[in-house]
Structures are given as structure tokens and as C-alpha cells.
Amino acid sequence: MFGALLAVLLTGCASTPEPPAWQSSAHGSLQSFSSAYLRGDTRIADIEFARARSELAATGRASLVAQAELIRCATRVASLEFDPCTGFQAIAEDVGPAAHSYAAYIAGRWQGLDPALLPAHHRALLTTAASTGAKSRLSGIDDPLALLVAAGALLQNGRLTPADIELATETASEQGWRRPLLAWLGVQAQRAQQAGALDTYARIQRRIGLVGNMPK
């Protein structure tokens, strides 16, 4: 997913023969932010994001700062943290329709959205009916973070299925991303408890204990 967004930083405003230093610096810091946040290291994530945003703000281009803010908010959505995307909202009036569409998408506000304005990973979900059988609608998304963001958007939109939850949980597990894994295990545990599946609930709780506490 972030390939599409981060490409703006490198190719969307690249120069010849050598791009300015801020592009590679901002790109690297955003990648470091995402990695740190997903593994649960909030302190490092905050430092890296502040560095990236500073580099982008130095250009005076709201569209670039908006991309960074949307990356931060999408990473939080992947971890089921659904607070308002205030950093984006502060500069929303100065950015184009694609940025507004993506902000609405990750918040689960899909009514009236044009799929063509979204990154390719996410377009199909707006037109695909609910998954059938054991197959998840997310299975066609090959980027792990894009898959988790899509799952978070589906949850907010009220369209998430058990197959989607299972795929999101195991995707976070495969990547070793502690923060979203704990969040999705929490969803599984809650549903097992509500269904009275006490053995399943206990197994999930043991797995949560195995993942352990996140660094500060």
C-alpha cells in the first residue's frame, strides 16, 4: 500500500540527475516510522515521523505533508486505532480529491467514494460483495500492510467477516508486527467470548500472553 503513497515522495517530484536530499530522507524516515510503530516502539516511531514531516514541510507543499499524515493514520488503522486523522484534517483544504478519498476510505466512510481515486490495492473492496464461505475478500491483497489497513477499514465499515479477521491476524503474525497482532487477537478473543467458545477464548488469551507487552 505505501508503495503507492511513498512513490509520490520519490518519483512524483523527482529531479534529474540527482533528487534533493529531503526526498530520500523523508522516505527513509517514513519507512522507519512504519516499522517501529508496527512492532510497538512508539518512541522511535514518533521521532521518525517528526523527522519525515519536517523534511516534507520544508518544501511548503501541503500535498506531500498530507501523504505523510495519511501514512501515519493508515498505519494506526492497521492496528485498529481509529482516532481522527487530525494531522491530515489540518491541511485538508489544500490537497486534492485523491487524498480526501483515501482519508475517507481508511475511516470506513465509503459512501460515494470513487474507487479510481484510491491506491490499486484498495479499489476492489468498494465493489466486491461480502466474502462467501471461508474465503476472505482480503486474500487478493498481496501487500501485508495494505491488507491490514483494508481489514481495519472493513471493521469500521461493518463489513468484516470471520475469514477477514483470521487473515488479518495471521498476516500480522507472519510479519512479526506486535501492535496489530495484539489488536487483532483482541478482536478474536472478544468474539470467541461472546460466542461462548471458552476453549478458543483461552487459547487466544495464551497467544496474547506469548506476544507480550510492547516497548514504550
Count of the separate structural domains present in the chain: 1
Residue 126 lies in a domain: no
Cell numbers found for residue 191: 468474539
Cβ(201)–Cβ(209) below 8 Å: no
Question: At 91, is the pLDDT very low, low, confident or very high (cuts 50, 70, 90)?
Answer: very high
Cell numbers found for residue 175: 510479519
Handedness of CA 202, 208, 212, 216 (dihedral sign): negative
Q: Which domain holds residue 108?
A: 2-121+132-211
CA distance 117 to 149: 16
**Which candidate, 79, 83, 94, places its Cα nearest to that of 186?**
79
Residue 127 lies in a domain: no
Look at residue 13 in the predicted model and tell me its pLDDT.
Answer: 43
Tell me how far CA of residue 205 lies from CA of 172, 182, 185, 210, in angstroms: 16, 10, 8, 9
Residue 14 lies in a domain: yes
**Which candidate, 184, 141, 176, places its Cα nearest to that of 35?**
176
Cβ(180)–Cβ(172) below 8 Å: yes
Q: What is the pLDDT of residues 151-175, one digit of tens each?
A: 999 999 888 899 999 999 999 999 9
Residue 200 lies in a domain: yes
User: Where is mean pLDDT largest: 67-71, 125-129, 133-137?
Assistant: 67-71
Residue 56 lies in a domain: yes
